[in-house]
Structure 1
């Protein structure tokens, strides 16, 4: 059995660790709130652009641009989103694991050297370099400070390569942010753009709460379902009488690149919010574990102290009896 001094040292050590994890949880919670606000600021643009594209599809526009043309894959690119730092649970590990599986799948079909990697985040950049993959640049700054300008640059570079025939397919690997307690690892085709699947994709997000407990998530889910039912009852048709000039094909050839830029920026914001949510949950779990460990150590310390007092009393009583 460890001595009281050793137990007291462990209690002090666990207390110090708990302070760190608790502080990191609060910092991640604050950053998550800012990430949710960034997604909220992007949503009006996304909603209107999707509405316009859906309206054109409903009008049965048979427009075929270079960006939505499917062709045989001889060379592909993967845009993979991770974080720059650790302590966020399985966030980085799961993303890198999926990237490895996708690279292996393509390696059997087109060869490992024909797979290009665009790493967003230091963790995936270091892993791709270690694996000897064909890394196209280093974009770690975007993982900490997402901005649309740099996303458009990457999207334009990918679009140019796709247009020139240098690559035949581009995929995104990232975490889709649904709520503070749920982030879904997603593999999505970026180019060629499949409007039907993209416009029918799951865009549900809870941007109002940073609570990650299971009970709270169930409550929020039920409340969200009730709100959706009310919205369906009170929904009003929008005016879709667009005047398309000069023609539908020309307009779509301008809209599709903008939609591609939006897809990349949305994936970045989702990944950023998912990172902070995963770190917040991981630090909350670590803090709870520290609390439980402190409870056990305090109990062990009190038992040891009580045993020492009992032994001293027995020594005193035994000495008096002998006298």
Structure 2
């Protein structure tokens, strides 16, 4: 049985730890509220852009360039505004045999957020093993690690990140996300990547952050249309509860009663409008994914610190009770010694 001094020391240590966990919970809750506002303000804009793009692509009957008609429908995404369409023209819907793949995995820079990092690292590892099983070598798989924890885990597996993206996890920035998206676009267009996937934790609610795996490139009009027909996409504007998360980013939205592209007059042309919307959508998707992952991280950290605080309070009550029992037993023993000595 530990002495009263040892129990008292444990009580003081736990009390100090509770002060830290309570402060971290308050900080995480404040950051979560800020992240919630950012993702909720961004998602309707991103979804509507995606929905408009799908409607326009469907109106001009754009399909994968594997078809004869699709091979002629290329979209210009040049960084330089003075480039001609022929110089920067390419298709982001080209379905190719997957021989080289890029995986963008999002995690955090710090721990103390429950299973947030371990879940997404496990999913990213499973994706890598899946491609290994399909016949791809390690040299054919490129992992862009966003967050220090992901970078460390992937480096141990033999997949160091091509660049340092740790700052993106702490301070989400559209400029940094746009630069990463442009690198992925250039790699896909040049043939360096045949497929690009995103792996991240989606903020569904404060207590739920499921791991999501999405195909970033090539763009698939068929998959998005299937989701729309199946009714899987809901309008984010109808979600009034701020504690509820949105659907995974990159999912388009269809509003009931909205006019179809056949009812609209598009100038100068639908093709030129697609060429303008497409780079915005693909770049914005990386940024929205980053915001979604940040919100999920803060939610996981809030829950983890709340659980740590509750467990600490329970342990503190047990130790206090044990200390009081030991102290009472010691006092009783001293009284008995005094009474026994006086009777001799």
- TM-score interval for Structure 1 and Structure 2 normalised by the shorter chain: 0.7 to 0.9
Q: Which residue of 1 aligns with 2:252?
A: none
| SS of structure 1 residue aligned to 2:61 | coil
Q: TM-score, normalised by structure 1?
A: 0.85
| SS of structure 2 residue aligned to 1:186 | strand
Return the alpha-carbon distance in structure 1 between the equivalents of residues 173 and 116 of structure 2: 21
Give the alignment of 1:158-237 within 5 angstroms. Answer: 158-198=184-224, 200=227, 209=242, 237=257
Question: How big is the shift at 1:91?
Answer: 0.8
Return the alpha-carbon distance in structure 2 between the equivalents of residues 172 and 14 of structure 1: 40
Q: Say which is worse superposed, 235-244 or 197-206, in terms of deviation.
A: 197-206
Q: Does structure 2 conserve the Cα–Cα contact (< 8 Å) formed by 1:120 and 1:143?
A: yes
Q: Which residue of 1 aligns with 2:182?
A: 156
CA RMSD in angstroms comes to: 2.4
Q: Which residue of 1 aligns with 2:161?
A: 135
**Pairing partner for 1:124 from 136, 142, 150:** 150
Q: Which residue of 1 aligns with 2:96?
A: 71
Q: Say which is worse superposed, 48-57 or 281-290, in terms of deviation.
A: 48-57
Q: Which residue of 2 aligns with 1:6?
A: 6
Return the alpha-carbon distance in structure 2 between the equivalents of residues 83 and 27 of structure 1: 16
Return the alpha-carbon distance in structure 2 between the equivalents of residues 274 and 204 of structure 1: 21
Q: Which residue of 1 aligns with 2:126?
A: 101
Q: Which residue of 2 aligns with 1:32?
A: 32
| SS of structure 2 residue aligned to 1:179 | coil
Question: What are structure 1's unaligned runs of at least 5 residues?
Answer: 211-219, 225-234
Residue 236 to residue 101, structure 1, CA distance change in 2 (3 Å): closer
Q: Which residue of 2 aligns with 1:317?
A: 339
Question: How big is the shift at 1:195?
Answer: 3.4
Return the alpha-carbon distance in structure 2 between the equivalents of residues 190 and 239 of structure 1: 28
**Structure having the larger proportion of residues in helix:** 1
Question: How big is the shift at 1:107?
Answer: 2.2
Question: How big is the shift at 1:208?
Answer: 5.2
Residue 189 to residue 313, structure 1, CA distance change in 2 (3 Å): same
Q: Which residue of 2 aligns with 1:227?
A: none
Q: TM-score, normalised by structure 2?
A: 0.80
Question: What are structure 2's unaligned runs of at least 5 residues?
Answer: 64-69, 75-90, 247-254
Q: Give the length in aligned residue pairs.
A: 301
